[in-house]
Amino acid sequence: MAKGPGRLGKGLAALLDEMGTAPLATATNSVPVDLIDPNPRQPRQDFDEARLEELAQSVRERGILQPLLLRPGAAGRYEIVAGERRWRAAQRAGLHEVPAIVRPFDDAATFEAAIIENVQRADLNPLEEADAYNRLAAEFGHTQETIARLTGKARSHIANLLRLLDLPRNAQAAVRSGQVSLGIAKLALSAPDPDLFVREAVAKGFSVRQAEAWLAAAGRRAAAAKARAKPVDPDLVALETGLSEALGLAVSIRQGPAFGELVIRYQTLDQLDEVIARLQG
């Protein structure tokens, strides 16, 4: 089989390096398309038809620029570790062989590599990407620093996306379906009621700036409601009731830290005259 220089994405190259393989010295083989099988544990099961056709057109014009990563299978066949979209596009483009690097990955490493490749794809939504980081941490024991090295992402980006998994289920569903952007999703984390905030953002088509303004207004309303909900003094309530009955008008008493207010509400000038007459004795 023909061989040439290998080319890998940053994350998969880092994974090979972690396994003790030197990826830059790895030769690329030409492997028949019909001897390759997809990975049954591929994390991504849905392949966007329009994007796949675009990739197939690119393959027709320029070939496959990045080799597939394969592992040996049974009876002389190969199983995809990374690059299923390229393999599918090659089939559509009518290629008989594809460039590939063959390495003896075990089941765990195969699954890990598949997750990493999915993370590096631009069409993952924020929650899918967060799920992938969470799986790398939970199933393979990777720290955020290690995940950053394997995927080529900033550690802060990984930490921020992992926080999205704390959102309520309905809010997460809106992010997964693409109804709200990553910026809106991050703001939802600081909202008193994330589900309500996300529903408003979807219904009104908020930009990030509009969402920030809505949250600020909601915060002011919550603060005002909290101030109004201070414990009621039963003595003041009794006094208000007695004065209201004596005057035949609504009376409220507000006691602040430095001063208080006595408010008497009247509807007509006659009622005002009566109150004034009583005060003047």
Identify the pLDDT of residue 18.
Answer: 52
Q: How far apart are the C-alpha atoms of 178 and 210, rounded to whole Å?
A: 18
Q: How far apart are the C-alpha atoms of 242 and 251, rounded to whole Å?
A: 9
In this structure, the answer to whether residues 246 and 221 fall within a common structural domain is no
In this structure, the answer to whether residues 9 and 108 fall within a common structural domain is yes
In the residue annotation, 79 being an active-site residue is answered as no
In this structure, the answer to whether residues 92 and 107 fall within a common structural domain is yes
In this structure, the answer to whether residues 15 and 92 fall within a common structural domain is yes
In this structure, the answer to whether residues 12 and 85 fall within a common structural domain is yes
Identify the pLDDT of residue 3.
Answer: 39
Cross-strand partners of 82: 69
Q: How far apart are the C-alpha atoms of 199 and 209, rounded to whole Å?
A: 16
Identify the pLDDT of residue 25.
Answer: 41
Instruction: Let me know: does 103 contact 112? Beta carbons within 8 Å.
Output: no
Mean pLDDT score across all residues of the chain: 82
Which helix or strand (DSSP H or E) is residue 82 part of? Answer: strand 78-82
Give the tens place of pLDDT for each residue, 71-101. 998 899 999 988 888 999 999 999 999 999 9
Model confidence at 223: pLDDT above 80: no
Question: pLDDT: is 12 or 211 the higher one?
Answer: 211
In this structure, the answer to whether residues 109 and 7 fall within a common structural domain is yes
- One-letter amino acid at 130 equals A
Identify the pLDDT of residue 202.
Answer: 93
In this structure, the answer to whether residues 226 and 245 fall within a common structural domain is no
Q: Which of 6-20, 33-47, 80-94, 111-125 has the highest mean pLDDT?
A: 80-94
Q: How far apart are the C-alpha atoms of 153 and 138, rounded to whole Å?
A: 18
Model confidence at 54: pLDDT above 70: yes
Question: Binning pLDDT at 50, 70 and 90, where does residue 1 land?
Answer: very low
Buried b (16+ CB within 10 A) or exposed e, 12-34: bbbbbeeeeeebeebebbebebe
Active-site annotation holder among 18, 61, 84, 145 = 84
Name the least confident of 91-105, 136-150, 207-221, 244-258: 244-258
Identify the pLDDT of residue 51.
Answer: 82
- Give the number of domains in the chain: 3
Taking residue 275's Cβ as centre, other Cβ atoms within 10 Å add up to 14
Q: What six digits make up the tokens of 66?
A: 């990045």
Identify the pLDDT of residue 8.
Answer: 47
Give the tens place of pLDDT for each residue, 233-252. 788 888 888 888 888 888 88
Q: C-alpha 55: how far from its chain's center?
A: 26
Give the tens place of pLDDT for each residue, 16-40. 555 544 443 456 789 999 999 988 7
Model confidence at 196: pLDDT above 90: yes
Cross-strand partners of 5: 27
In this structure, the answer to whether residues 223 and 246 fall within a common structural domain is no
In this structure, the answer to whether residues 204 and 238 fall within a common structural domain is no
